[in-house]
Amino acid sequence: MSAIVSLVRQDDYEPQAVAAAYAEACELAGFPDVRGKSVLFKPNILLGAAPEQAATTHPAVLRAAIRHARSKGAARVLVGESPGFQVGDQAFRASGLLAAAEAEGAEWVDFMEAAKLDAPRGKAVKSFQVARAALEADLLVSLAKLKNHTLMGYTGALKNLFGCVPGLQKPGFHLRFPDAAAFALMLNDLAQALAPDFAVIDGIVGMEGPGPGSGYPRKVGVLVASRDPLAADRTACRVVGIDPDAIPNLKDGLERRAWISSDAEIELRGAPLAELRVHDWKPAPRRAKSSLPPFLKDLAVPRPWFDRASCVACGACVEICPADALGLVDDAKGAEGRSVRVDHGACIRCYCCHEVCPADAITVRRLKPRGASRSVKGAGRETAGS
Ligand code: SF4
Ligand code: SF4
């Protein structure tokens, strides 16, 4: 199956320039016919960081997407997302994406209303509960962000669709599939069943280092678009020097026959990839296999570390942790008089806590042997400040 992937250079988020670049990317990649149809855009909101943090699809890209769909005759334009941790519409507002949708008159849809999605070709999961809106829209567009991801290595068009799973159902999948390879199968089962019609990756400013929430904004200067989300993702990886075969869901995707089955099937259009290439992209922290004895796991597999001074005791990490490994406890040394207690024996290293922390209080790194003395509550358990 061949796939066109467009690469359009865009160096900043100046709205008119983004709109022109977005339209060009769509035209080059063969944007589907949306006349008289409903189009649902699924941006990446994650935890609702400000746009300049590069954790979320930029509002200028969403505005360009809405305008472009309208200009092509879409009857309804919808926008929806379910971040990992959500309090009201706080994340939607902080990201600037709700305001962008409102300014363009698009409908914001509730992703918490779920419906069953069968995944008959699923390798790991045969049915999901997903946002009803994603099933009811005529066309689904993954409006992703180019970022590192500490668990998967990279997140873009395919991984972005995990946000179609409502709210706190997501951590349950981390518990069922703690290993990155198994998690990748589930992600692709979901993406294959959702069958998005188009993908655009906002790589104008991406996120390198410890993404998807706590990495470093990095100008890449590109919009990537394709009808084939796997082809878009593999191309975006090549732009920033990530080996797509090292990303479990991008490797598995080639075997599915749902999208491209080799990079040779990609036809690039637009700016030459070689001219866009970023040569010193900082990778995500390496994650070793977790099938290790517990005493080696702490040394070999990066774990979450909690900074007591930065923690605002919001409880987001506690709520999202699929392994019940976290708790908020009274702690006079905590900035808010409380801090996070961690049971590292129970932790499955999914890094959901790291994704949702609004205060950058969680880092992911390996334990240094001498750091074992920080444990304060018995084997494998400690309080924030580690
Ligand atoms: S403590 Fe963090 S990394 Fe460990 S299981 Fe809980 S959410 Fe995942
Ligand atoms: S570590 Fe982060 S997410 Fe967890 S309670 Fe503190 S501020 Fe909230």
Q: In sequence order, what DSSP letters do the residues of 155-177 get, joined into one string?
A: ESHHHHGGGGS-GGGHHHHHHH-
Range(s) within the chain of domains with CATH label 3.40.50.11440: 3-276
Give the pLDDT confidence score for residue 64 in this predicted structure.
Answer: 98
* Residue 13 CB–ligand 1 contact under 6 Å: no
Q: Is residue 61 within 6 Å of ligand 2 at its C-beta?
A: no
The C-alpha atoms of residue 41 and residue 232 are separated, in whole angstroms, by 16
What's the Cα-to-Cα distance from 99 to each of 27, 46, 94, 106, 255, rounded to whole Å? 26, 16, 9, 10, 40
Assigned token pair, 195: 């069958």
Spans of the chain, pLDDT less than 50 = 290, 371-386
Q: Which CATH code, of 3.40.50.300, 2.60.120.580, 3.40.50.11440, 2.10.25.10, is assigned to 3-276?
A: 3.40.50.11440
Q: Which ligand is nearest to the CA of 339?
A: 2
Residue 299 has what pLDDT? 65
Q: Is the CB of 329 under 6 A from ligand 2?
A: no
pLDDT given for residue 380 in this prediction: 37
What residue ranges of the chain are covered by domains with CATH 3.30.70.3270?
294-383
pLDDT tens, position by position, 19-62: 999 999 999 999 999 999 999 999 999 877 899 999 999 999 99
The verdict on the CB of residue 314 being under 6 Å from ligand 2 is: yes
User: How many angstroms separate the alpha carbon of residue 74 from the centre of ligand 1?
Assistant: 41
What are the residues facing 128 on neighbouring strands? Answer: 117
pLDDT of residue 377: 31
Which ligand has its closest atom nearest to the C-alpha of 85? 2
How far apart are alpha carbons 290 and 181 in whole angstroms?
Answer: 11
What pLDDT was estimated at residue 34?
Answer: 98
Is 317 a pocket residue for ligand 2 (Cβ < 6 Å)? yes
CA distance 174 to 317: 14
Token readout for 245 is 């075969």
pLDDT 10s digits, 5-16: 999 999 999 999
Task: Look at domain 294-383 and name its CATH class.
Answer: alpha beta
CA nearest ligand 1 atom 4, residue: 347
